[in-house]
Amino acid sequence: MERKILWAPWRGEYVSGKKEAGCIFCPPEISLPDEERLILYRDDKVLVIMNKFPYNTGHLLIAPRRHVAELEDLTEEELLNIMKMSQEAVKILKKVLKPDGFNIGFNLGKIAGAGYPDHIHLQLVPRWEGDINFLAVLDEVRVISQHLITLYRELFPYFQSIKI
């Protein structure tokens, strides 16, 4: 039987466990360009960043600007801004990607799956009917249909028009 290979070399960084130095949600003011960091939006209260290792096309992370780990430590204003931004992000993703639904939530703590447990963030994952197929079931492989930078450039103008 011939062995088939699905190449995904960009996943090597994730699999090897290498992470960016510091917190991805606390980017220094002078560093890599927002496009390279996949930052779609930032103001003084909230940040929207594309997941570099997405579960699905359009997987976004929404975080408070303040470095805080616990849900109960967020201020009312931070909670409100995260939820307002998630509402705006859903509108944008519905318009651009036309998903059938969304998974939205927080992974609180490393054991719950938080890749960055020291900085709370909301996961927003677009879903399509049939987006989970035999690859995910048999080999834990997911197919992402669009390159991250291509999608970033498509989404970026919409996020720049947001006023919270």
Digit-coded pLDDT (tens) for 83-109: 999 999 999 999 999 999 999 999 988
Helix segments in 39-147, DSSP class H: 76-96, 134-139
Cα separation, 155 vs 47, in Å, equals: 14
More confident residue, 164 or 41: 41
Q: What CATH number has the domain spanning 33-160?
A: 3.30.428.10
Cβ atoms of 117 and 16 closer than 8 Å: no
Catalytic residue positions, numbered? 121
What are residue 127's phi and psi, to 5 degrees?
-130, 145
Full-model pTM? 0.78
Mean pLDDT, the chain, integer: 82
DSSP 111: G
More confident residue, 8 or 36: 36
Please count the other Cβ atoms lying within 10 Å of the Cβ belonging to residue 55: 17
Digit-coded pLDDT (tens) for 21-72: 678 888 676 666 788 889 999 999 999 999 988 888 999 999 999 999 999 9
Q: Where are the domains of the chain?
A: 33-160
